[in-house]
Amino acid sequence: MSEFPIHLSAFHALQVQYRQQRQTKELGSLDDTSSPVERYLNTVFFLQSTLSLSTNCDFTPVPWPSDPRGPPVATVLDVAHCGIDEDCLQYTYGTTKRLTTFIRAIVTLFQSASYYTLTGTEVPSALQHAIQVLDQRLHTWTLECENIINLPNAHTTEVMKLHILAFYHAACIFHLTHLVLPLLAHDEAHRPRPQELLHFHISQVLSHLQNIEAIKRQNPRIFSSQAASILWPGFIACCEARREDRPRWMEWWEQMLTYRIGNIASLYETVKEVWQLHDKRDHGSSLQPAWRVCLRERERLIIAL
């Protein structure tokens, strides 16, 4: 997966090129109208860059800006991204603009929250407020919040909805492991409830992913044998799975290997290494998920697509 940054930078370069061409034609207009090609490039870059950022371990923790004017919560959680094709996100990637924005927001907040957890200093009230707002929006989200497209076939629509739900529960796991549990690292009295939520969301991700594969097996004429689910939800969830739940996850990964897509095997090997690291360390001994520690120690770049 070492070529992925090149792939991503190429998408970004094309984005810039199309945007410049459009603005030149419009005499520098900032009109948000974009061509189908530009909207597609914007959408692909939005999703893929988000997933890339979410698993990037090469970052420097930064304190939350002291300027009360920025970055405001509204900016961090803004879902009104112009030029993003919501239908493309749902049909191609099985997620939504809102959920992708949640993931980007978690990454932004984590970069600042980790500064305070690592230095042992007090988390600013503005950052705490931003985390609380994100927490509220995550926990009030339902599938009905989204304008879900209707595909021609009921089975493909159901698979898409299941994948969106898997993305949602994985985003909740991402939130718990990056913002909630690290900030409760020294508060044993309040850790059990988030831990219960964590395992609930993990079980939901697995259930939805297993149901997707079951529907595909039952309808081979509809679904391509070469089209696998996006791996981000499964990777984020299974890395936190309890030891007794891992055999079910291993079954799912073995199913995914049958798609014969290159990054599936490498991600599965990473998962096994993460489980080994998980078993060696005390559960509350790290302020970051075990998979982050594993990737950083091995200087490994992944993209869970």
d(CA 231, CA 172) in angstroms, rounded, equals 16
Which pLDDT value is given to residue 212? 97
Residue 186 lies in a domain: yes
Does residue 8 register a pLDDT over 70? no
pLDDT in tens, 110-156: 999 999 988 889 999 989 989 999 999 999 999 999 999 999 899 99
Domain range holding 81? 3-12+34-298
Does residue 104 register a pLDDT over 80? yes
Where residue 254 falls among pLDDT bands split at 50, 70, 90? very high
Give the residue, 7 or 269, on which the prediction is more confident. 269
Which pLDDT value is given to residue 284? 47
What is the mean predicted confidence (pLDDT) over 90-115?
Answer: 94
Does residue 58 register a pLDDT over 90? no
Task: Determine the 3-state secondary structure of 296 from DSSP.
Answer: helix
Residue 120 lies in a domain: yes
Does residue 189 register a pLDDT over 60? no
d(CA 52, CA 82) in angstroms, rounded, equals 20
User: What are the structure tokens assigned to 198, written together?
Assistant: 């964590």
Cβ(209)–Cβ(233) below 8 Å: yes
Residue 20 lies in a domain: no
d(CA 278, CA 244) in angstroms, rounded, equals 13
**What is the percent of the chain with per-residue pLDDT over 90, rounded to a whole number?**
55
Which pLDDT value is given to residue 301? 86
Residue 305 lies in a domain: no
Residue 24 lies in a domain: no
d(CA 3, CA 230) in angstroms, rounded, equals 18
pLDDT in tens, 10-35: 656 665 665 566 555 554 444 455 67
Residue 28 lies in a domain: no
Average pLDDT, the chain: 85
Which pLDDT value is given to residue 30? 46
Residue 29 lies in a domain: no
Where residue 175 falls among pLDDT bands split at 50, 70, 90? very high
Which pLDDT value is given to residue 55? 94
The whole-model pTM stands at 0.89
Which pLDDT value is given to residue 94? 96
As for how many domains the chain has, the answer is 1
Cβ(305)–Cβ(293) below 8 Å: no
Does residue 5 register a pLDDT over 80? no
Give residue 52's Cα distance to chain centre: 9
Which pLDDT value is given to residue 291? 94
Other C-beta atoms closer than 10 Å to the C-beta of 93 total 23
d(CA 99, CA 86) in angstroms, rounded, equals 11
User: What are the structure tokens assigned to 8, written together?
Assistant: 């991503």
Residue 26 lies in a domain: no
Which pLDDT value is given to residue 83? 79
CA atoms within 13 A on the CB side of 261: 19
